[in-house]
């Protein structure tokens, strides 16, 4: 289920049981039923992206900024983040830290360097594994060197190269954390913790793609190189000619070792409804190895393929008809009567 629509449905159902009056319940049931009917038009493996929404693959890869205030909620807050949520062996993880002003409310976004930080701060970090054992120590600097882009801008930076030590087995991934400690001359201290994935995928995208229309659906074939046999998950977002995300398509496959093609089937109806004449493009596509927990995330390729012009009439106009959602809609409509 599309996560945006799913959230809408899940937010409606509790209201029916706990908050809605008897007069409101039928209307809420009808709204939820219509939501299910709309979703039932599409298979789980091809879901439309709401107009104006962010590319869901790129949104899932956005880094989180962790902020930690001082004792009793005092400022400044120590904010820490990295330049990616996943790395592979040989990659450099660039880590960042900043002392930020205390927010006036929960809705405020901390972004400016703190005006109430007393004196210079010394910032250090530790890379830790899932057992909280220290893997490496790093020192943060605001000197414009290495990962630090600008000296004196209040953003401190450090780098960590992921090496052979601690690398997960092929097809596996490990969670690593970085604990950052900031101290000043007044002996104030802030400690914040964030993390990333050390990934060792068993298969990767080569960057070669081809497409065709089959039975009213767009089929995008992705070339994959597997160093070990196993199961993978392929996900891609198809954009229109203006670069707007139209659909999220997904598939799973069991691969043998070596080079092969994986078909990503994009159900034609949402593309036809969007009057997607083409050329269409892969706004983002990624391959995940699903042989363990956590899954080993692969890199995300953007703008990796473009189709030719596709006539809307070549795409199916038939709703998919997901039986479980049609069932749920029928039960809700019965409740509304």
Same-domain status, 160 and 206: no
Same-domain status, 89 and 10: no
Instruction: Tell me whether residue 165 is in a domain.
Output: yes
How high is the pLDDT of residue 74? 85
Query: Above 60 in pLDDT, residue 27?
Result: yes
Per DSSP, 270 falls in state H
Q: How many CB atoms lie within 10 A of CB 33?
A: 23
Find the mean pLDDT for residues 256-263: 98
Query: Above 90 in pLDDT, residue 3?
Result: no
The tally of domains found in the chain comes to 3
Helix ranges restricted to H, the chain? 3-18, 24-40, 56-60, 268-273, 323-336
Beta carbons within 8 Å of 11's beta carbon, 6+ residues apart: none
Token match 């996560």: residue?
3
How high is the pLDDT of residue 117? 53
Q: What percent of the chain has pLDDT over 70?
A: 87
Beta carbons within 8 Å of 97's beta carbon, 6+ residues apart: 78, 79, 80, 123, 125, 140, 155, 156, 157, 158, 180, 182, 192
Find the mean pLDDT for residues 230-248: 96
Among 181, 200, 219, the domain-final residue is: 200
Same-domain status, 212 and 249: yes
How high is the pLDDT of residue 161? 97
CA distances from 99 to 141, 158, 165 (A): 13, 15, 32
Q: What percent of the chain has pLDDT over 90?
A: 67
Torsion angle (degrees, nearest 10) of CA 65, 282, 44, 320? 150
Instruction: Tell me whether residue 64 is in a domain.
Output: no
Same-domain status, 216 and 233: yes
Coil, strand or helix: which one is 263? strand
Instruction: Tell me whether residue 214 is in a domain.
Output: yes
Among 176, 200, 224, the domain-final residue is: 200
Same-domain status, 148 and 82: yes
Find the mean pLDDT for residues 226-239: 98
Highest mean pLDDT among 12-26, 67-81, 244-258: 244-258
Among 178, 200, 222, the domain-final residue is: 200
**What is the phi-psi region of residue 258: left when phi exceeds 0, alpha when psi lies from -120 to 50, beta otherwise?**
left
Per-residue pLDDT band for 118 (boundaries 50, 70, 90) equals: low
Same-domain status, 196 and 83: yes
Beta carbons within 8 Å of 277's beta carbon, 6+ residues apart: 241, 309, 310, 311, 312
Same-domain status, 207 and 278: yes
C-beta of residue 251 within 8 angstroms of C-beta of residue 263:
yes
pLDDT digits 0-9 by tens, 147-204: 888 888 889 999 999 998 889 999 999 999 999 999 998 888 999 999 999 999 999 9
Q: Which domain holds residue 86?
A: 75-200
Per-residue pLDDT band for 102 (boundaries 50, 70, 90) equals: low
What whole-number distance in Å separates Cα of residue 223 and Cα of residue 286? Answer: 12
Instruction: Tell me whether residue 257 is in a domain.
Output: yes
Q: How many CB atoms lie within 10 A of CB 242?
A: 5
What whole-number distance in Å separates Cα of residue 113 and Cα of residue 154? Answer: 6
Parallel/antiparallel/unpaired status of strands 300-301 and 281-289: antiparallel
What whole-number distance in Å separates Cα of residue 294 and Cα of residue 193? Answer: 19
User: Domain of 140: which CATH number?
Assistant: 2.60.40.1930
Same-domain status, 206 and 122: no
Same-domain status, 116 and 31: no
């Amino acid at each position: 289920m599309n996560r945006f629509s799913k959230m809408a449905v899940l937010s409606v159902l509790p209201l029916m049981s706990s908050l809605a009056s008897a007069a409101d319940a039928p209307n809420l049931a009808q709204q939820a039923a219509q939501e299910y009917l709309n979703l039932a038009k599409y298979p789980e493996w091809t879901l439309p992206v709401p107009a104006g929404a962010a590319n869901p693959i790129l949104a899932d890869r956005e880094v989180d900024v962790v902020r930690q205030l001082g004792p009793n909620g005092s400022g400044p807050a120590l904010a820490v983040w990295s330049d990616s949520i996943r790395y592979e062996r040989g990659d450099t993880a660039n880590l960042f830290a900043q002392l930020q002003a205390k927010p006036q409310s929960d809705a405020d976004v901390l972004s400016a360097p703190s005006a109430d930080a007393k004196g210079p701060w010394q910032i250090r970090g530790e890379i830790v594994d899932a057992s909280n054992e220290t893997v490496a120590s790093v020192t943060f600097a605001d000197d414009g060197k290495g990962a630090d882009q600008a000296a004196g801008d209040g953003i401190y930076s450090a780098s960590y190269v992921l090496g052979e030590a601690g690398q997960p087995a092929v097809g596996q991934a490990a969670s690593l954390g970085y604990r950052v400690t900031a101290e000043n001359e007044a002996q104030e201290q802030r400690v914040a913790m964030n993390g990333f994935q050390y990934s060792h995928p068993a298969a990767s995208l080569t960057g070669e793609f081809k497409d065709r229309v089959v039975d009213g659906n767009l089929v995008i074939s992705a070339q994959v190189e597997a160093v070990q046999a196993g199961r993978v998950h392929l996900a891609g977002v198809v954009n229109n000619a203006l670069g707007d995300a139209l659909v999220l398509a997904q598939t799973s496959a069991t691969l043998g070792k070596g080079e092969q093609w994986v078909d990503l089937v994009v159900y034609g109806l949402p593309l036809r409804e969007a009057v997607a004449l083409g050329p269409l493009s892969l706004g983002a596509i990624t391959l995940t190895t699903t042989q363990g927990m956590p899954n080993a995330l692969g890199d995300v390729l953007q703008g990796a393929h473009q189709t030719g012009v596709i006539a809307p009439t070549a795409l199916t106009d038939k709703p998919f008809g997901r039986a479980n959602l049609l069932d749920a809609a029928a039960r809700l409509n019965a409740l509304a009567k």
